[in-house]
Amino acid sequence: MIKNLVFDFGGIIADFEFSRALVAFERVGLKNPAEYLDSYHQRGFFRELESGRIGADEFVRRLGECAGREVSYAEAREAWLGFFLLPVSLERLACLEELRRDYRLYVLSNTNPFVMDWARSSEFSPAGKPLDAYFDKLFLSYEMKCMKPDRAIFDRMAAEAPLVPAETLFIDDSAANAAAGAALGYRTFCPRSNSDWREEVRRILGAGV
């Protein structure tokens, strides 16, 4: 019986468009953003940020070095938010509120402090609610200092929630992340990025499988 739902963030809760992020970082002055950015797993100092090995200030400094000019925190934040297609769907958020009446809801995301500075504020939702208002707990790679699809982040989430993988539906648009969860005993659903997953999640929960 499923008792917990674990959601990825980008592409599941908030829609994103990878090409927009490339343009946003080019606008800051980064000459080769595709070397660092990916739809699911970043590289270089972008990955160091999302894995918690460097913080926001160090990221801004290194972004400035690559851009050949001083870059502000606000510019870096705006560039990271270039990933997302806003506003976040109110219908999707309403579905989360409905699901939370019967299940415990969590986020498990490879993300960073710039994105969460927005997501954990009243700017996140057209209703003025932060991401935290829709979930029991957020498990964020930069805070946990480990990333999907590594086993460590799943094990820490299970211990800290706490939750039992076999009682948990894990929803992620990355096939690699979904496969990692399935290998650890999670029920998994891997929808297409930015798709409307609501009906299929309800079907899975209704079937109990």
Active site residues: 8
Cα 57 from Cα 61, distance rounded (Å): 6
Is the sign of the CA dihedral 197, 97, 115, 162 positive or negative? Answer: negative
Is the sign of the CA dihedral 117, 75, 195, 32 positive or negative? Answer: negative
Q: Do 41 and 207 contact (CB within 8 A), yes or no?
A: no
Unique residue bearing structure tokens 């990692």: 180
Strand partners, 98: none
Strand partners, 109: 140
Which whole-number Å values give the CA distances from 142 to 92, 99, 153, in the listed order? 25, 27, 11
- In 3D, which of 145, 147, 188 has the Cα closest to residue 165? 188
Cα 82 from Cα 149, distance rounded (Å): 24
Peptide bond into 126 cis (omega under 30): no
98: which 2 tokens?
Answer: 């409905």
